[in-house]
Amino acid sequence: MQIDPLSDVLSLLRPHTYVAGGFDLQGRWSIGFDAHTGIKCYAVLSGHCRIVVDGVADPVALDAGDCVLLPNGRPFALSSDLSLPPVPFTDLHAIEWHGGIATLHGGGETLILGGHFAFAGNHGDLLLGAMPAVVHLSDGEDREELRWALDRMRRELIEGRPGGILVAQHLAHMLLVQTLRLYLAGNAGRHVGWLFALADPQLATAIAAMHAEPGIRWTLPMLAQKAGMSRSTFARTFKATVGTSPIEYLTNWRMLLAGSRLSGGAESVSTIAHALGYDSEAAFSTAFRRSTGRSPRQYARTLPSRGAAHPWSSTALERHIST
């Protein structure tokens, strides 16, 4: 079976779609958004606007066909006119709702769709830590899947058919994955993080091997052989691309797997330790504490219950989408 590291990581991080919706805007407007947890993803279907992200020097112009990822949770504003002070989204009283789309000033000029995702557990930085505060993807080729997903999302949100919200949430996941794919295709080599190693066929082969069999006692020569590179070249290239050594990456991946298996509550710490290549429960516990700051048992005890409420389900948009 082919191993897909990006799917592996997203599956373990379990992105929850807290919002799948959009904005239909007209005239002059500027909307501010508070800091958020997780990642937000927007695509402009028509019209244009600018996004201003806290701590980023220059506004980013967004035109029809553009996508933007906001991975680091900073406050931001979407605006048609930068001279207008942003109005907090939750303070806007002139919004009308059409399905899951917020309409301001009658709409019809700028249409933006997107999703807000948060991740289970404490390892979201494995994905998000590799990314800058704002990722801008301009329109280009190979976007048919993205355009299809956005058109379907728009229809599901507006038409209000049975099951439409659930379909829109799944389409938002497609939007996230497709945007990450486009990001990888256009930004390999420009940033440091495991995500960018997936664009290098040789490094991706070694990472896939670690993902496929995390319990093997991998060594640097074994992984270099998988990558088809000399030991020294592999170690140097992996460190420069990923930001950690191959063995450090393997340990981090094992800890992410361990956290997921601990959250299931069906396996003992000893069973998890041996499955992930540790000779003893003590050795595994030491590595886990070094990674998370807690012992495996402490980690398991502090996990939220499966039925816990979403931590920011009180905003106006989430309230509307969930009803």
Q: Write the DSSP string, 148-187.
A: HHHHHHHHHHHH--TTHHHHHHHHHHHHHHHHHHHHHHHH
Residue 249 scores a pLDDT above 60: yes
Using pLDDT thresholds of 50, 70 and 90, give the confidence band for residue 199.
confident
* Tokens coding 89: 């989204």
For 121, residues 6+ apart whose C-beta sits below 8 A from its C-beta are 12, 13, 14, 256, 259, 260, 263
Query: How confident is the model over 38-59, as a mean pLDDT?
Result: 91
The pLDDT assigned to 282 comes to 93
The pLDDT of 75-92, averaged and rounded, is 93
Count other C-beta atoms under 10 Å from residue 101's C-beta: 21
Q: What is the pLDDT of residue 235?
A: 96
Q: How far apart are CA 101 and CA 22, in angstroms?
A: 5
Beta carbons of 123 and 291 less than 8 angstroms apart: no
Q: Could you tell me what percent of the chain has a pLDDT over 90?
A: 34
Please tell me the class of the 5-187 domain: mainly beta
CATH number of 194-301: 1.10.10.60
Mean pLDDT, range 89-111, rounded to an integer: 87
Q: Count CB atoms within 10 A of the CB of residue 90.
A: 12
Per-residue confidence at 316, pLDDT binned at 50, 70, 90? very low
> Cβ(159)–Cβ(46) under 8 Å?
no
Q: Which of 1, 33, 17 is nearest to 177 (CA)?
A: 17
Tell me what pLDDT residue 323 has: 25
Query: 38 with 125: CB under 8 angstroms?
Result: no
Average pLDDT over residues 92-119: 86
Question: Is residue 293 over pLDDT 80?
Answer: yes
Q: Where are the beta strands (DSSP E) in the chain?
A: 16-25, 30-33, 39-46, 48-53, 60-63, 67-70, 76-79, 87-88, 96-98, 101-104, 110-118, 135-137
Listed ranges 16-25, 33-42, 178-187; the one with the highest mean pLDDT:
33-42
pLDDT for res 311: 28
Q: How confident is the model at residue 17 (pLDDT cuts 50, 70, 90)?
A: low
CA distance 175 to 146: 6
105 touches 96 (CB < 8 A): no
For the chain, what are the domain ranges? Answer: 5-187, 194-301
The CA distances from residue 224 to 138, 197, 220, 234, 237, in Å, are 36, 14, 6, 6, 10
Q: What is the pLDDT of residue 3?
A: 65
Q: 140: pLDDT confidence band, cut at 50, 70 and 90? A: low
